A and B are shown apart, each in its own frame.
Chain A
Amino acid sequence: MADIPVSTPLRRSLGWLRSRRLRRALSEPATLMGLILVVAHLLLALLAPLLAPYDTSALVGAPLQHPSWEFLMGTDQIGRDYFSRIIAGGRIALMVSFLGIAIAVVSGTVLGIIAGYIGGRTDEIIMRIVDAMMAIPDLILIAILILALGTGPGALIPVVAVVYTWGVVRVIRAKTISLSTLDFVRSAELRGETRLAVMVREILPNLIGLLGVELAVRVSSAVLRISALSFLGLGISQPTPDWGLMVQEAMGVIFTDPWFLLLPAIMLSSLIIGVNFMVDGLSRAFGITTAELG
């Protein structure tokens, strides 16, 4: 009679989609808006080839036309349909960011768990390498990598991976250290589990939520970074449509036709804001504090 029966129904595998926490998170307008923005951006990026009325690199009309039914957002300086280019402008940056960050999160997690759990000299060596890498200003690091790897989407993926791994290592190491103090890790050690088993079986499952947040936050940051690189001429190059590149092209006509600048800028910021709102709300609902995000 003393034990109060727990009435919480089982919904582990059926998933978090129906969980109360998720519903509560989505009842906040900011979180819901963020989620809608992110989903819209993902759909747009996936479906852009189907939605675009024209080929993104074909010269289809006179340059710098104003919006019309024929060209929904007008044409750019050399006569390409701006609408087709705007909806396709995030595809490459998103894909490169996602793949690059996926590599960064995986390698950062491996290094972070090892540093945090094994500790001692292993930790010292890994963390000093991390410190050294983070001490190099990002743009210089990127410039060196691009010099070595060349430009183009294929080269940008490893660039993103290298730049973003170190931050992930720090976050995962910190969380691993706090998890390692818990008694279930002691219990596994007393059973004689190998270090690998403790890291994979005991610690890793407790990092999943944090990893999801890491992935989302860093993808949005990487998209911004790639756009900046494109703007500087180091990232994606013509004729591929890309928001950063389009902002750079629009600089020449900024006073006469400002929407050429505004449209890609709005696309870029709505993606970043959407991801940030979504991650903020979800991580709060799932109890991941911002302190853990480093």
Chain B
Amino acid sequence: MNLIWLIPCLPLFGFLVLLVAGRKLGDPGAGWWGTGVVAASFLVVVKVFFDLLALPEEERSLTQTLFTWIPSGSFEVSIGFLADPLSILMCLFITGIGALIHLYSIGYMKGDEKFSKFFLYLNLFLASMLLLVLGDNLLLTFLGWEGVGTCSYLLISFWHTDPANASAGKKAFVTNRIGDFGFMLGTFLVWITVGSINYADIGPAAPMIAGGTATAIALLFFLGAVGKSAQLPLSVWLPDAMAGPTPVSALIHAATMVTAGVYLITRLNPIMAQAGWANDVIAWTGAITALVAASIAIAQTDIKKVLAYSTVSQLGYMFLAVGTQTYVAGIFHMVTHAFFKALLFLGAGSVIMAMSHEQDMRKFGNLRKYLPVTFATFMIGWLAISGIPPLAGFWSKDEVLAGAFNAGPAGPVLWFIGLLVALMTAFYMTRVVIMTFYGSEKWRLTDDPHEAAESADLESEEVESEELVTASVAAAAHGDGHDDHHGLSPDHTPQESHWTMTAPLVILAGLSILGGAINLPFGSDFKRLEHWLEPTLAYEHELPPVPVLVLLACAAIAVASLGIFLAYLVYSKQKIAVEKIERPVLAHAWYIDETYAKVAGGPGEAGFQGLADFDGTVVDGAVNGVGAGVLGIGNKLRPIQSGFVRSYALGISIGGALLLAFIVTRMNL
């Protein structure tokens, strides 16, 4: 029994039902329905997983072709699914974490007027994501790729009445277009070179591809991956994407969609094996992105922005891994990252909920007293991402770093950058934890004059409505779209979230602790993930020998501890001035956004204006000239159309006679 088709079709079915009856199901019915279909899909994935496990290692690849989608000469695309170790691994954590986040969203989105629409988008997203992963050819993957992009756009601007959210969605969409362009060109090039876009054909054909062509294909697909996975220079959209609801940030912009680029590169590893220096480009892009993003995360005050830059930085790690052709490490880190980053985002969401949608960490503090479950799980996420053994993050990060160390002459440099990133990661995550869960309850301080006025107004009941107006005006005047002042009053008492929100936190915390167990470096028997992925990987770079591995691991642990200690000194003991660390250049994200805006607004705009002028005069001139010419000729020919039907018939007759004459002359009489 082949059930692969059910995996993406279940969420799609959920989407269709919500489309028709979403409003009827309402709150929380629509949420439970959405969660249910994803959970069912997860069960199907588990079933397929065990089916695969039952097969001998070399045959672990099930394909299911539903029908031919585009039959066009020798170019034929079918709707077919490929379930092999790589795609099923992806499906496992996509549907698993997806179901948890759906469950979480029931609590998080409670009372939202677009409750059912949220789940409708989430289900559509999961259907597209599963299509992306399971598609057995590049075009089907592209369909999913665009689908997740669309859902990402819809969900980022979910609360689109705020212009900032709407423009954040637009930014994500436009930035992704640049990457998609690379994806499409890559697909065309594969079609020209291999003559097929099915993965089953690309794999065997890859060794025959010439080095230069393979490099070009690799770079084009990497451009697509850069857009989707928010690497430099296209990383600007992901931090803004935090405008969406927090479960969306956790699911789409941390755990699943943004890792699609890593998946794509891993899926095309037979081509990458031929691609030569394109791999170095990938590795260096990953390393530099990781470094830059981690440095920016240090100076952010919005809790979700810290996590967003952290995600960009961790994605950099994954690209570092696939660039050094240690795909197992990349996928391993992708899985563990999905666990702990989803956990951190959901924990942050729980905090944000408890603080009346306030996201500024400067207003948090001492929340461990009020949110025990969130606190405990967040601590686990913190330790996992910081790289403290034996939590999941340590093992995967260590493998990425070890792979980088062994990658040719530049390896140690890449390794050192990775180590620096690990230091920063431990530092900024400790900063988040201290600012949020320890220290004094800073939202009770009323040093801000605006808030003081607000609290004074709150006491007098009769001016309440007037106060609301002034507050909203003031908030608008602040101009900071992400800092919604949802009335966090000094006498606010945070409350722990509903069980639908804490249950996913607990499960994800468990996974963050144990996730490393899927690939432990203690010997061949423990490397389960590596064995599992082996059939899908054409080439895997060796890790360094064991003594070196141990040394590298010790260095990583030392650096992580150092990062935590430094952050403790700065934010808890206040031995070092905060201003020395949080430089403005970091807070402004190295002015990358500003530079893009300047370029696009200055020389870019002039260039586009030039193009527009060219279009207005030359292109339109040609078009209008053709039009005028046709009009003139038409006026000359008008009398021929006399309106007498018999004249027309005569024309036909004469034409027929002439045709007949032509035939007769060709008859070899």
* Chains A and B come from one and the same complex: no
